[in-house]
Amino acid sequence: MIISKTLNKTQEEIIKSISIKGETQISTRLDPDEIKEENKIGEGTFGIVYIGEFRGNQVAIKKMKQIDKDEDKMKEFEKEVMMLDKFRSEYIIQFYGAVFIPNKICMITEYAKYGSIHDLINKRTNTEIPNKIRIKFMIDGAKGISYLHSNGILHRDIKPDNFLVITLDDNIGVNCKLTDFGSSRNINMMMTNMTFTKRIGTPKYMAPEILNREHYKMESDIYSYSITMLQIITFQDHFLKKYTIFHGILQIQSQQVNDHQ
């Protein structure tokens, strides 16, 4: 509010108030001082994941390993940040923002208490997770993929590791959410000039046409999700290896991937 004071012809003071209303745009470029890092909960080739706190919210902090010195990895990080920021849905892991300061580069997302579906399969027995919850996982996952596809985006790395379990309560609306958009691309770009690319996808979830160096398309994501659903239904991480035909396919897939890298 701005207050203005003036004098009229009779030297009387006139006070006028002007109300000003404004809004600031919320930035996803975060101040590292607002992020409180707690316990380490995971580690991979990309970096280390910590549980922490951001503005009163329990979050996952994905810290990158020397990413600022690798141009390709930095571009991939920026692309994933852009995807998470642009595409928001209740079936996509909530994105709070990222830090781009050298040596402090990290991404802040919603914390998934139970880890990924892959983690759950490895830590829980078949009888511990009822069919009703497993069906919810599959429905939530399908809705997350459908949301991306309806917005012209292909995920390209669909697998149990990339579905994070938020809750095991079947009374809650959403039980699991899709994550990891480092490999995601626009459908039009994929159809016109992209074929098989190294480091995209995970061999046992890849569609045959991708291994045949054909264009990546929507159906390729769906194929990967069908294999993911198979594992959710059986609740066995190594289900495919028990079947000779599938085991043979996996060996061929792995060899083809190595040949093209």
Q: What residues are labeled active site?
A: 157
d(CA 71, CA 199): 16
d(CA 239, CA 226): 13
Q: Label residues 52-64 b or e (16+ Cβ within 10 Å = b).
A: bebeeeebbbbbb
Largest CA distance in the chain: 101
Helices (H), ranges, 131-198:
131-150, 187-193
Contact status, residue 193 vs residue 203, Cβ threshold 8 Å: no
- Determine whether the annotation assigns residue 63 to a binding site: yes
Number of other CB atoms surrounding residue 222 within 10 Å: 15
Structure tokens at 34: 């607002």
Number of other CB atoms surrounding residue 208 within 10 Å: 12
Structure tokens at 118: 């892959």
Contact status, residue 94 vs residue 55, Cβ threshold 8 Å: no
d(CA 91, CA 179): 9
Number of other CB atoms surrounding residue 7 within 10 Å: 9
Number of other CB atoms surrounding residue 140 within 10 Å: 21
What one-letter code names the amino acid at 245?
Answer: I
Task: List residues forming the annotated binding site for ATP.
Answer: 63
Q: Which residues are annotated as a binding site?
A: 63
